[in-house]
Chain A
């Protein structure tokens, strides 16, 4: 991967152990641990929007939190601008942390209720003792997220979901970060507020040259925003590649299923959807071998025995599947004619 990657993850694992008695802790029992994230290698190039997609249990939120340092990986390394966060000194860590910020999932709940917006927005400066010259004024920050200046004196509960979300974004921008991790940026918002936030995210990328990691379960959001898409299932990366490749010729059956689940308004219903049987297994007891094999139409004996590794099938396009060739072929062949109808609006 390119040397300009802003963030690099190498073999990151996050295992959560239940609180248990002394004996079990000492023996470090692995059994029963939640394998939230397992062996993830990921690069986030500077200036790009990387979309991290997955359903519940995929580990995407845990991964996002690990990147911004809210959690330490059980194993593996997180590098920011080449520096290993796990090895950095406290002072250095503090400096590095300033350069990456997170926008949290719940618009209101991530804002401290007894503080006015102005206080919330200036708090990062107080925390890091930023000199007045280097600060952006509250007015500037609000303007960046297209909020009127009178919002500054409001309390969080007086804001609408959309406004609260924007305040969260403004706060994340206060320290002029290079990386912004957005966790479900449209959750809890009505359709038009969500659209406004997405427009804002895009606009800010242009204006401020930000790098984004957008974590979401919504393929429409990621399809709209992302340059690169990474798909996670049960703690592992199953496919990653440029958005175009993922959308036009997905190579992993799970990606295919997710894409086919996208409703196409105005298309007329395509009854032939790829229905995944069963449910997502628990991260406590992931299936042996390929974790997806219990729901996969292409599964064979090999799937149960051998866990597929990420392999490069095209420049910058990796997939972890034994049978990606068959999957790819089936995807291209059976692509419903309706999808090709609006050929021009796609490019």
Chain B
């Protein structure tokens, strides 16, 4: 019998009360995260209504201006409103980052499940595959795939999914190994459950929560990666207002009109922080229950 806090009351086993969103919101960081993510979703849905200008509308006369009454964040080198471009950029980012991350999750889950559940030689082989992908320098990987498939939103998402998959695969594999040890897996087997059933009904539901928090925390990495690729000219092509493209454009004029760089940088930071905090808050809430799920 461990000697610390006496066992929690049997009924209220979950930490705190209320449903998951409520509990996450109680944590200030989590609240910030919810706020940011909700804000981004709103921007995605209502970009045309919210953005003051058409992001492609050029106004050369007013190029490279700082914040003003007409242009809250200023304009870029072609006179396009920065605020509007950033707002529409959310759509681009999420259009890439979400499928990329979910794709990485799906691919990683598959690999990790196979490796963890099958064990033995299959496990060894799959680990080699994961290592190989991860060892490949990311940029070269991107270059290669995009050269083969051509630069586009969809292909960038594919590249990122492949690049991130090994990380998810490793986590998934570790989780599967841990869950496999649990008596309930054995109990199911003794009931006659087949392997597919055990994997789908009992392993996946138990490893999904930590993987989902990983998704929340890694989404910004995908955004950042996309921005990086576009910045290098490998991803989305201008005039599509990907934040990376905005950054790239702004970079050329950073000395006299740093606004593009500054605002894009801040936006990226806020987004990253938002998702990260949300992910951490989710993890904190799910973790104690993990204690029940994983041992």
Q: Which of A101, A106, A156, A158 contacts B191 (CB 8 A)?
A: A101
Q: Which of B10, B186, B193 contacts A104 (CB 8 A)?
A: B186
A-B contact pairs, 5 of them (CB 8 A): A70-B186, A98-B192, A102-B187, A127-B192, A171-B191
CB interface residues, B 148-205, toward A, < 8 Å: 182-184, 186-194, 197, 201-202, 205
Which of B39-47, B122-130, B137-145, B287-295 contacts its partner? Answer: B287-295
Q: How many residues of A contact B (CB 8 A)?
A: 30
A115 smallest CB distance to B (angstroms): 8
A61 smallest CB distance to B (angstroms): 12
Question: Total number of A-B contacts with CB less than 8 angstroms?
Answer: 72
Whether A123 and B188, one on each chain, are in contact in the complex, defined by CB atoms closer than 8 angstroms, is: yes
> Which of chain A's residues have a CB closer than 8 A to the CB of B285?
none
Whether B193 and A127, one on each chain, are in contact in the complex, defined by CB atoms closer than 8 angstroms, is: yes
Whether B183 and A70, one on each chain, are in contact in the complex, defined by CB atoms closer than 8 angstroms, is: no
Whether A106 and B183, one on each chain, are in contact in the complex, defined by CB atoms closer than 8 angstroms, is: yes
Q: Does B11 touch A at the CB level, under 8 Å?
A: yes
Whether A105 and B192, one on each chain, are in contact in the complex, defined by CB atoms closer than 8 angstroms, is: no
> Which of chain B's residues have a CB closer than 8 A to the CB of A113?
184, 206, 289, 292-293
Q: Does B13 touch A at the CB level, under 8 Å?
A: yes
> Which of chain A's residues have a CB closer than 8 A to the CB of B191?
101, 123-124, 127, 171, 175
> Which of chain A's residues have a CB closer than 8 A to the CB of B192?
94, 97-98, 124, 127-128
In addition to A101-B190, A114-B205, A158-B11, 10 A-B residue pairs with Cβ atoms within 8 Å of each other are A94-B192, A101-B191, A110-B184, A113-B292, A113-B293, A128-B192, A157-B289, A157-B292, A160-B10, A171-B187
Residues of B in contact with A (beta carbons under 8 Å apart): 10-11, 13, 182-184, 186-194, 197, 201-202, 205-206, 289, 292-293, 295
CA–CA, A123 and B292, complex, Å: 20
Whether A112 and B193, one on each chain, are in contact in the complex, defined by CB atoms closer than 8 angstroms, is: no
Also in contact, A114 and B197, with CB within 8 A (given A102-B187, A128-B192, A171-B191)? no
Whether B289 and A104, one on each chain, are in contact in the complex, defined by CB atoms closer than 8 angstroms, is: no
Also in contact, A157 and B13, with CB within 8 A (given A108-B292, A128-B192)? yes
Which residue in chain B gives the minimum CB-CB distance to A68?
Answer: B190
Also in contact, A112 and B202, with CB within 8 A (given A98-B192, A158-B13, A160-B10)? yes
Q: Which of B10, B201, B292 contacts A156 (CB 8 A)?
A: B292
> Which of chain A's residues have a CB closer than 8 A to the CB of B293?
113-114
3 shortest interchain CB distances as A-B pairs: A114-B205, A110-B183, A113-B293
Which residue in chain A gives the minimum CB-CB distance to B182?
Answer: A109
CA–CA, A68 and B187, complex, Å: 11
CA–CA, A104 and B187, complex, Å: 7
> Which of chain B's residues have a CB closer than 8 A to the CB of A114?
202, 205-206, 293
Which residue in chain A gives the minimum CB-CB distance to B14?
Answer: A157
Q: Does A111 touch B at the CB level, under 8 Å?
A: yes
Tell which of B191, B206, B289, B295 has the most Cβ of chain A within 10 Å.
Answer: B191
CA–CA, A111 and B184, complex, Å: 5
Whether A70 and B292, one on each chain, are in contact in the complex, defined by CB atoms closer than 8 angstroms, is: no
Which residue in chain B gives the minimum CB-CB distance to A163?
Answer: B10
> Which of chain B's residues have a CB closer than 8 A to the CB of A106?
183
Whether A70 and B189, one on each chain, are in contact in the complex, defined by CB atoms closer than 8 angstroms, is: yes
> Which of chain A's residues have a CB closer than 8 A to the CB of B197?
127
Which residue in chain B gives the minimum CB-CB distance to A157?
Answer: B292
Q: Which of A104, A123, A128, A171 contacts B183 (CB 8 A)?
A: A104
Q: Does A69 touch B at the CB level, under 8 Å?
A: yes
> Which of chain B's residues have a CB closer than 8 A to the CB of A105?
183
B122 smallest CB distance to A (angstroms): 16
CA–CA, A127 and B13, complex, Å: 30
B23 smallest CB distance to A (angstroms): 16
> Which of chain B's residues have a CB closer than 8 A to the CB of A111?
184, 187
Which residue in chain B gives the minimum CB-CB distance to A128?
Answer: B192
A282 smallest CB distance to B (angstroms): 23
B158 smallest CB distance to A (angstroms): 31
> Which of chain B's residues have a CB closer than 8 A to the CB of A158?
10-11, 13
CA–CA, A94 and B11, complex, Å: 38
Whether A112 and B188, one on each chain, are in contact in the complex, defined by CB atoms closer than 8 angstroms, is: yes
> Which of chain A's residues have a CB closer than 8 A to the CB of B186?
70, 104, 110
CA–CA, A187 and B217, complex, Å: 40
Which residue in chain B gives the minimum CB-CB distance to A111?
Answer: B184
CA–CA, A127 and B202, complex, Å: 13
Tell which of A68, A98, A109 has the most Cβ of chain B within 10 Å.
Answer: A109
Tell which of B190, B194, B289 has the most Cβ of chain A within 10 Å.
Answer: B190
> Which of chain A's residues have a CB closer than 8 A to the CB of B184?
109-113
A69 smallest CB distance to B (angstroms): 7
CA–CA, A157 and B293, complex, Å: 9
CA–CA, A113 and B207, complex, Å: 11
Also in contact, A123 and B193, with CB within 8 A (given A109-B295, A110-B184, A156-B292)? yes
CA–CA, A111 and B188, complex, Å: 9
Tell which of B186, B187, B193, B292 has the most Cβ of chain A within 10 Å.
Answer: B187
> Which of chain A's residues have a CB closer than 8 A to the CB of B206?
112-114
